[in-house]
Structure formats: structure tokens, C-alpha cells
Amino acid sequence: MLKVVVACGCGMGSSQMMKMRAQEVFKKLNVQVSLHHTSIDEASSSANEYDLIIVSEALVRNFKNTKAKVIGLKNIMSKAEMEQKILESGIIE
């Protein structure tokens, strides 16, 4: 099972909406995930516990020293962009 975290500045509204989009994308891709949403601070401090981190492009810089794959989205509400970047990341075999 893939461990995924989605994060936004405060860990409230945007990350919850991103989590819902991510659930739909992973279901479409037939990938079982453990999905969590949180603030950027919590995500950066626990980044190595995850396989994949999904954030806005502006927040990618917070994850320079992590073993997790990091995906930065231009439009955090776009399922199409999220799906494309997940597939491009190589995280799914």
C-alpha cells in the first residue's frame, strides 16, 4: 500500500479538498493508498514516513531532503493534472 500525504499551508481546507481529489485519482488508477492530509509544517517534519507527497508548486521547496517523491501542482484542484503528475512520477508500477 502506498503511503501518501497531501499538504497545504494550514492543513485545513485546501489539503482536505486535495485529499478528496487524490482519492478519486488513485481509485481510477486502481492503486490502494493510505492517504493523509495535513499542514506543510507537519508534512515536512514527517516526510520520510511517506512514499509520495502532493503539494502546490510553491511548497515543493519544503521537501529538499526527503526520500519521498514530491509532486507539485499548478492547480491543486485539477484531477487531470494530479493524475498526470502521479503517473509521470514513476511511483506506480
pLDDT in tens, 60-70: 999 988 999 99
Full domain range(s) for residue 53: 2-89
Enter the DSSP assignment of 64: T
CATH number for the domain that contains residue 32: 3.40.50.2300
pLDDT in tens, 33-85: 999 999 999 999 999 999 999 999 999 999 988 999 999 999 999 999 999 99
CA dihedral 75, 2, 67, 41 (to 10 degrees): 60
Task: Report the domain count for the chain.
Answer: 1
